[in-house]
Amino acid sequence: MKLLVLPGDGIGPEITTATLEVLAAVDRRFGLGLSFEFREIGFVAFDKFGTTLPDEVLERAKVCDGVILGPISHMDYPPRDKGGVNVSAAFRVKLDLFANVRPARTRRGVPHRGTEMDLVIMREVTEGMYPDRNMVRGSGEFMPTEDIAMSLRKITAVGCERIARASFELARRRRKRVTAVHKANNFILTDGLFLREVRKVAAEYADVTLDELIIDAAAAWLVRDASRFDVICATNFHGDILSDLASELSGSLGLAGSINAGDKLAAAQAQHGSAPDIAGKGVANPTSLVLSSAMLLSWLAERHARPDLAAAAVAIDAAVDTALADQRNRTRDLGGPLSTSEFTETVVAALVS
């Protein structure tokens, strides 16, 4: 298994190094045969090549088995026509990684806000209310005059159908409940199309229960009783907001893993940003990218019928739980004393013990 490694900006190189140490440990334990190929993205690539995403990076991703994508500082990039490409968006759209899979669960010993939870948000990420991914040319956001700003939202039947199908397939392996989140009372046509396609797919999964919930009610229920949710299926914008909310309620955004998955490729990517204010200080929490890498191994296990990869993913998750259970083993964002490297050593020790 060859993984393309893209460290990214800010704390990206630090948490990527930590993630690779964990993957090396699990590789030794299970004999996975992992190998890594490195490329530069973000500001490092911009300084060298004049773009934050050289074309060869996407081409290499197509021939590798998976990708580890570090955080990026795209809000600080120059304009797109000056080389400031949003790497996350480009990967999702150009490689058709349409499903952003974002689990959120409470963990033993880790303080959380609200109720116990174990849910997964399935977020469609190639369209929706995002100006950089709903036009062939130009932007979906524009200003007819200095005092008028407008934005277009693109929702397609195929985009809704495949995120719905991915949601029902996942729910079938979990607790067999999908909640479709929408705002069809106002976005009558766009969210109406989303619900139409979700209902069509639901008819093929008689063993899975479908709930429908307006976005504001879904946010309220996450705070009130998140235990009611199993798999949440959402369009891009709604899923983006709910996933950060769910992760914070479950303990911290720093604990939230995620993958961007398509039919042929998946990329592990931490849910959080690049945190430039703490970059280089050795205090970043690598948990999110570590757990994302475990999710990537699990995705690869299903695609390639590799039970050893599945076992490795379970082992990483369990090792992280073991480390986080004791406050003395946590990084400072979670009230602990450990540096990035010290926390990584703790997770590796749990893996090999």
Return the active site residues.
130, 183, 216, 240, 244
Type of residue at 211? D
Q: In angstroms, rounded to a whole number, what is the distance separating the alpha carbons of residues 218 and 234?
A: 11
Residue appearing with tokens 């100006």 = 131
Contact (Cβ atoms closer than 8 angstroms) between residue 232 and residue 121: yes
Alpha-carbon distances of 40 from 69, 164, 302, rounded to whole Å = 10, 34, 29
Residue appearing with tokens 């919930």 = 213
For residue 95, count other CB atoms closer than 10 A to its CB.
19
Rounded to 10 degrees, the C-alpha dihedral 331/334/337/342 comes to -20
Residue appearing with tokens 């430039």 = 276
Type of residue at 336? G
Contact (Cβ atoms closer than 8 angstroms) between residue 119 and residue 104: yes
